[in-house]
Amino acid sequence: MTERRPKILAVDDTPVNLKVLDAMLTPRGYDVVTAGSGAEALEKVKTERPDLVLSDIVMPGMNGYELCKRLREDEATRFLPIVMITASTDQERAQALEAGADDFMTKPPNQVELLTRVKSLIRIKQYHDTIERQRAELRRFLSPQVADLITSPEGGALLSGHRREITVVFCDLRGFTSFSETAEPEEALAVVGAYHGILGPLIFEHGGTLEHFEGDGLMVFFNDPVPLDAPALQAVKLALAIRERMTGLTAQWRKRGYDLGVGCGVATGYATLGRIGFEGRYDYGAIGPVTNLAARLSSEAKAGQILVSQRAFAAVEEYVEIEPIGEITVKGYSRPQPAYNVLRLKERVAA
């Protein structure tokens, strides 16, 4: 499959200026579409879906400032890169940035400077688009029975809020913060994409509800909205499956010099669950100390460790081999909390 060339929308009421931009950009691997006014540009954005907009400021009718503001007000184009090109004055630069432009260039544009800025902004746009695609993919990891229940008449009561005992699994990558500080964005995206690619299907297979994910961290809970017979055991099985499946991937990362590994925290307790968010963007979430405890256990876990709380340990003790690691301090808890490291499933359970 031929890779799609980045598309740039050039906006100017002077045809010769559009020809100059086309001559600079097209030979360098960009597809250039043009518009002679702000109003035409808004239509071209909808039909052509450009990756970046280069716009003059002074145009009859809708000027560049207004075009930029309109694009920023639209959710679909809020993060579309916009570069203003016009005569250089400090006032124009300030107004362009206030209108929401990402960058500013003077006329006539210097080709090297133009290509450098375009490349940089399109790279950021591609990074944002990739994150959005991954976010959409992870939303599909909600199991069919959960999705069916939430959209059913009975699901309305669940969405309005209720209280239930759940088991929470928190996972994130050890060493990812320091890695991302020096890695190229493409490397960081590849790591997160591979990591999500493993965890997503496992969450689906084990019947967990994905509450949220943020970069290398994610939270899953069990026993809601669909009740389970042994939610704590199912949560630990998910964590063990993640650890096992990540072994091959972390080995590949080490060959590339990436010092990364996954750590998990598992906690059982009561939480309030239901719809969280605002009109146009809702999540199904859990609120309560149990989520903080799972997150704290995850942050304490070393690469390859699965740390469980006292209550989760009591629920799975019969089925797993565990070693105590002492107590940890957790915000929201008056006393330190015991923690246990899960080694493996007992043979009769694994069989």
Nearest to 333 by CA among 309, 349, 298, 304: 309
Residue with tokens 């876990």: 301
Give, to the nearest 10 degrees, the angle between helix 38-48 and helix 64-73.
40
Nearest to 166 by CA among 120, 227, 217, 113: 227
* CA 44 – CA 30 distance, rounded (Å): 16
Contact 249, 174 (CB under 8 A): no
Contact 83, 102 (CB under 8 A): yes
Nearest to 216 by CA among 259, 176, 265, 248: 176
* CA 190 – CA 203 distance, rounded (Å): 20
* CA 295 – CA 219 distance, rounded (Å): 8
Question: pTM above the 0.85 mark?
Answer: no
What is the DSSP annotation of 39-103? Answer: HHHHHHHHHH--SEEEEES--SSS-HHHHHHHHHHSGGGTT--EEEEE---HHHHHHHHHHT-SE
Q: What is the pLDDT along the chain (351 residues), one digit of tens a residue?
A: 456 789 999 999 999 999 999 999 999 999 999 999 999 999 999 999 999 999 999 898 999 999 999 999 998 899 999 999 877 667 777 888 888 999 888 888 889 999 999 999 998 888 888 766 655 554 554 555 555 665 566 666 666 778 999 999 999 999 998 998 888 989 999 999 999 999 988 998 898 988 877 778 899 999 988 889 999 999 999 999 999 999 999 999 999 999 999 999 999 999 998 877 776 666 778 899 999 999 999 989 999 999 999 999 999 999 999 999 999 887 777 888 899 999 999 876 655
Contact 123, 129 (CB under 8 A): no
* CA 211 – CA 311 distance, rounded (Å): 21
DSSP 140: T
Strand 261-278 to 306-309 pairing: parallel
Domains of the chain listed by start with CATH number: 7-128 (3.40.50.2300), 142-350 (3.30.70.1230)
Residue 231 CB contacts under 8 Å (≥ 6 apart), including other chains: 165, 166, 167, 222, 223, 268
